[in-house]
Structure 1
């Protein structure tokens, strides 16, 4: 799918950019493409000749031509190279390691070259390829980091951008399960990781996820308690990286080890501030790193040598550079007049601002610095790296951050400082006490900002060991905070995200939500720990008569939690009207139990299930007595389950809305649904079969259903390959005066202007249709105008369309803006 056209009947993109965070898997993907190409499995119908280049290969001392670059891949094959270059449209060039290429790119067109035989400097050669000045017919597959997109985008011609996002929450959970197994140890590790927001977020990168699992397993094998061995996210990296060093560091004296570590940290810090990730000989000299130190760090894979370069190095992972850059400002150096390297005011401002977003180049360094300054983390650093820690910069941070907070930065900007535990309980007392009072007393204008601020502080304190008096004081503050639900009747929605609340605090929150004056209507639980779905929190469903909506998203739902939920749903005191479960990890037994327990609730009208692995259990939900709206989307339903699903659909009495979107029902499965529509007992008004792998072959059954069904008013068939023949058949069915469909969505159904006459004829005869969505189909402008004219002017009807013709040579950027015609 990397090289598919961006629109129906569009052209295959000649430049595809794959962007992602460092370590997300771009190089792995590039190498896999090469392997698949070698096995003739990557676009086998394309007679491509593929080459994989590290961009640094073009940065040689001597100038070289592109043909010479290919000859380096196949030495002594001059005739073969000439044959390849005679058909440039068959070239597939994979360009990787963009960040290792240090010279600046050339953006002046007159400095570029189109001659692939001409010897050129590396920067000119690479820029000529990227801009398509050289080999415009070739296909480029470019791997870059997200931060490099702005650098290369101006050179690229009509690039197609693909983003590698790494592991989502469910995939992280599955990885931990695969690594540790379904054991008590695995449960403990997964709970620990999910409760630490930063650790779990970093596990989005597969290699970091492996590092975290490896480190946590090592600590458990040594008999350490995870909450003590790794009090914050930074301590996990301290444990992992320090475990690499003793292998070679045993040959160092204590003084030599400290000097080499200081040099490595200085190198990293200099690179971070100057946005530099490739280091040469002069950089090493400035950092006072000798060959012995470089060899040591190369040997333990903290540093790596740049391909095709003798004296150029980079950190193996960019996150290693961020960590050692932060360590530079924490280590104590007794031989200096000031025994630590001081952060100036400007650097602190850059760090704090950078910690607001994960895409910022300084975000990880800021997180690591705040984590290293945690009192609980300091002993781990000293023991692991055999160096003393200085808190000189912490005092300066505590002084400068409040000034930044008052001036221009939002409360969110200091989240990383608190969430890493850099403040002690004493340092947080004033902030929390004032914020609690503010939240209870404040108007709605300040409510959001105050809760953002509190979220960081509460998470920090919940992760710190507290003596009984401190714990009791914290609980009293929490109870004061929760009392806002009883005194502020404007609070109707509560979202708990990545919650780490312990049972006493959950109990206090649940008690506040059950207060007779609490007017909460919506409760959203996102990425909460599985233990958060306990008796107290689920009891809110029966204890709050105003609650109408419950959403559980990205949560591992255990058997015990589902039993509690179903018990609450069966209670006559539960007034819940809508239940949404999205991307939840649960066993087949759990999903079956939920389906079997829906019949007892007379208030529940809407059930939304998305991104859950239900497989053949969809029929249980159609049997749910009073349901009016049922969405089972992207839940791995297949054609094998459709017959039983259709049977249950026939028996339903109340259903008005059914969505089976993003399930691979295919034509065979959809036939059972269409047949069921002919004999329904329920007043079904809307059916969504969006992206269900349907084709022309199911259209005859669909037409029969539309002719016999008298209740259906809305039909969504978008993103199915109906094409011209299928849409023409559909239009014939819609001419039937008994057809009641009022809304028809055909977005991206791969049809063209060839069927517009049938569609225009249908629009003239159909008296019911008032909304037609034709977006992302290859329809010409004159066809669109004909369709618009077909709508009677006296009726309120609308067509939504988008038109994206081939650009005119005189204006290559011309593009019709999607619009609505009424």
Structure 2
């Protein structure tokens, strides 16, 4: 296959490059389905609570304990860049090589939904299948006699035009019958035609609810991306040199957010592409990339740098045209662009060759050129750029204005605009803004930040100064900008912040980063996903959860590294008097960091819960010292920690110190 942005004639072997993805069986829940590019570490986080059943690609159509009959329809869902299409292509390759499904399927057809948008207005099932069959004659008679031996792959349901999402009958039931393409596809999905055949449909979660209305009893499988081991495997496969692979692995592991983001295969590919070019230039630049926006910006900058032995790449002449093309396409859910679309936005095909794939399509006897961004997430990235560049973010339609974008988005992580808005926040980071201006001469408007702050303030006013609905989504946006002063201003309009269902490693990182900026927040409640408090704990803590100046971070699955941010919060927020850290794996390193904050003269904490935090006798040495120095702490809860006799003796030493004010030790 040809790699994205490959040199002319350069190809990679799919079998050698492909890295196995983590798949789990999931129950369909459209309201819970979220479009999360940063949905990292989910498999590890869920091990703490709800754990879906893992599944292998070989058993997608096999029965199990919940389903005694083999499923006829499998929905493969995953956020942007998670590897859905790559998995579909690998499935086809393995089937063709006789390594997969040969005992189950004799025929396999692959339909690219993106290309289907450009197909004829009307066609028959025979026409549709002929377009994806390598020979001149489709074996219709064989298919009709044994439809149960047919597997039809629909790749990218979310990329279909809206007309495809809810077609109305009468349905197509005969091979030769010509019907509108949307109706024909609906007939196949609803099993009105060939009900015994098997379907594999890939989609982003944002379109899951629409798809769910068309299906009966599908098996839902979610792609969780790369595990840590698989990320290392991908590095070794991407870089042919073992030395380079090791160098890149060490570099990425040293940057925890960067390594975490590599859980998303598309982001992993972008990072490897950038680092490969840096290695070819002689060194790895120690350029921090803590956010997805930073990674994509680094990739954009790398496109502008000439590869060794190649001529200098021509700088795009019309960035506003490219960005407005992306934004208009996003609003109209359009991902394929014709030359007339480019001309409409003042673009020439040559000018955008670094960013757009050129594809030749056959339509009747005509040969038409069309263009698409190398991945939908890149279209969303450039759409965000449209709203931040000077002179951008304006136009006749509501989708062309920043106000229209934010109104439609509305803090909703299920919005098709969610990733675009995250990119928008990230592009306002001063360091990234400086890179864009210095290397590309693209100027970011200084007024967008103020517009965002005013919008957040209006949201706070409409919600009574309480941030609950969409709170995690707003935190994710604020994390992308990576500027504490801006985040403090944004959150200063809220008195109560409630963030629920924190399930992933990246979400913990996001919440930890934003929590330290909640200096004016009276109540900050962070709650881990898929966990419920025990009866004793809830009765003891619920009364304090909504009291003034409380932070509840019970069962949020964060590790010891997050305690550094918490220690900072203890010294910065003078209103904070209660903190619940129960059921988090703090360990000795985390406890040491936390005690540094507790011993600070500015700390005003009165009550802290450390139940089930994995503490041992060693941690009691720091706690004992803290008890002797902190004059405000009156209640300490240490239930379900293996302190032992030696730990208790150390605690008693602290209790005997004259400055200790502790009244309750549980």
What is the TM-score when the length of structure 2 is the normalising length?
0.63
Whole-Å separation in 1 of the counterparts to 2:431 and 2:90: 43
Whole-Å separation in 2 of the counterparts to 1:184 and 1:243: 19
Instruction: Choose which of 252, 255, 260 in structure 2 pairs with 1:192.
Output: 255
How big is the alpha-carbon RMSD for the aligned residues of Structure 1 and Structure 2?
Answer: 4.9
Instruction: Choose which of 287, 301, 307 in structure 2 pairs with 1:226.
Output: 287
Whole-Å separation in 1 of the counterparts to 2:490 and 2:416: 32
Counterpart of 2:467 in structure 1 is 410
The count of corresponding residues between Structure 1 and Structure 2 is 510
> What are the Cα deviations for residues 704-754 of structure 1, in whole angstroms up to 9, with x where unaligned?
xxxxxxxxxxxxxxxxxxxxxxxxxxxxxxxxxxxxxxxxxxxxxxxxxxx
8 Å contact from structure 1 (residues 106, 112) kept in 2: no
Which SS does the other structure have where 1:291 is aligned? coil
8 Å contact from structure 1 (residues 231, 377) kept in 2: no
Matched, 1:445 2:536: no
Matched, 1:428 2:494: no
Mapping 1:539-554, distance limit 5 Å: 539-540=622-623, 546-549=637-640
Which SS does the other structure have where 1:18 is aligned? strand
**Residue 426 to residue 15, structure 1, CA distance change in 2 (3 Å):** closer
Matched, 1:375 2:438: no
Q: CA deviation at 1:265?
A: 0.5
> What are the Cα deviations for residues 238-263 of structure 1, in whole angstroms up to 9, with x where unaligned?
111221245599575x7xx342x211
User: Gapped runs of 5+ residues in structure 2?
Assistant: 1-58, 496-517, 526-543, 628-635, 652-666
Instruction: Choose which of 257, 278, 281 in structure 1 pairs with 2:336.
Output: 278
**Residue 543 to residue 478, structure 1, CA distance change in 2 (3 Å):** closer
Q: CA deviation at 1:134?
A: 0.8
Whole-Å separation in 2 of the counterparts to 1:106 and 1:234: 31
Whole-Å separation in 2 of the counterparts to 1:249 and 1:447: 63
Matched, 1:520 2:609: yes
Whole-Å separation in 2 of the counterparts to 1:498 and 1:284: 54
User: Gapped runs of 5+ residues in structure 1?
Assistant: 464-473, 526-532, 551-565, 577-822
8 Å contact from structure 1 (residues 70, 81) kept in 2: no
Matched, 1:96 2:150: no
Whole-Å separation in 1 of the counterparts to 2:200 and 2:521: 53
Which SS does the other structure have where 2:609 is aligned? coil
Counterpart of 1:607 in structure 2 is none
> What are the Cα deviations for residues 58-105 of structure 1, in whole angstroms up to 9, with x where unaligned?
853374332344445243446x44334332222222222434543723
Instruction: Choose which of 79, 85, 88 in structure 1 pairs with 2:144.
Output: 85
Counterpart of 2:55 in structure 1 is none
Counterpart of 1:52 in structure 2 is 110
Instruction: Choose which of 389, 403, 417 in structure 1 pairs with 2:444.
Output: 389
Q: CA deviation at 1:419?
A: 1.9
Which SS does the other structure have where 1:161 is aligned? strand
**Residue 279 to residue 6, structure 1, CA distance change in 2 (3 Å):** farther
Counterpart of 2:87 in structure 1 is 29
Whole-Å separation in 1 of the counterparts to 2:229 and 2:598: 27
Whole-Å separation in 1 of the counterparts to 2:230 and 2:548: 34
> What are the Cα deviations for residues 463-497 of structure 1, in whole angstroms up to 9, with x where unaligned?
9xxxxxxxxxx98864254884xx54xx4435779
**Residue 570 to residue 330, structure 1, CA distance change in 2 (3 Å):** farther
Q: CA deviation at 1:167?
A: 2.5
Whole-Å separation in 2 of the counterparts to 1:363 and 1:271: 15
Which SS does the other structure have where 2:201 is aligned? strand
Whole-Å separation in 1 of the counterparts to 2:179 and 2:569: 68
Counterpart of 1:419 in structure 2 is 479
Matched, 1:263 2:321: yes
Matched, 1:121 2:180: yes
Q: CA deviation at 1:132?
A: 0.9
8 Å contact from structure 1 (residues 506, 536) kept in 2: no
Between Structure 1 and Structure 2, the one with more helix by share is: 1
Matched, 1:330 2:388: yes
**Residue 322 to residue 60, structure 1, CA distance change in 2 (3 Å):** closer
Mapping 1:145-164, distance limit 5 Å: 145-164=204-223
Q: CA deviation at 1:209?
A: 1.6
8 Å contact from structure 1 (residues 71, 81) kept in 2: no
Counterpart of 2:99 in structure 1 is 41
8 Å contact from structure 1 (residues 543, 573) kept in 2: no
Whole-Å separation in 1 of the counterparts to 2:265 and 2:450: 36
Q: CA deviation at 1:138?
A: 1.2
8 Å contact from structure 2 (residues 326, 379) kept in 1: yes
Whole-Å separation in 2 of the counterparts to 1:287 and 1:495: 54
Instruction: Choose which of 452, 456, 461 in structure 2 pairs with 1:401.
Output: 456
**Residue 360 to residue 101, structure 1, CA distance change in 2 (3 Å):** closer
Whole-Å separation in 2 of the counterparts to 1:203 and 1:224: 18
Q: CA deviation at 1:128?
A: 1.4
8 Å contact from structure 1 (residues 99, 277) kept in 2: no
Whole-Å separation in 1 of the counterparts to 2:74 and 2:208: 12
Mapping 1:717-732, distance limit 5 Å: none
**Residue 431 to residue 45, structure 1, CA distance change in 2 (3 Å):** closer
Matched, 1:244 2:312: no
> What are the Cα deviations for residues 244-286 of structure 1, in whole angstroms up to 9, with x where unaligned?
245599575x7xx342x21110011122334433334553343
Instruction: Choose which of 314, 320, 338 in structure 1 pairs with 2:378.
Output: 320
8 Å contact from structure 2 (residues 522, 549) kept in 1: no
Whole-Å separation in 2 of the counterparts to 1:389 and 1:235: 15
Q: CA deviation at 1:231?
A: 6.4
Whole-Å separation in 1 of the counterparts to 2:205 and 2:254: 30
Whole-Å separation in 1 of the counterparts to 2:183 and 2:149: 23
Q: CA deviation at 1:206?
A: 0.9
Q: CA deviation at 1:226?
A: 2.9
Which SS does the other structure have where 1:136 is aligned? coil
**Residue 206 to residue 70, structure 1, CA distance change in 2 (3 Å):** same
Greater relative CO (CA pairs within 8 A, separation 6+): 2
Counterpart of 2:41 in structure 1 is none
Whole-Å separation in 2 of the counterparts to 1:539 and 1:218: 47
Whole-Å separation in 1 of the counterparts to 2:111 and 2:453: 47
Q: CA deviation at 1:192?
A: 1.8
Q: CA deviation at 1:331?
A: 2.0
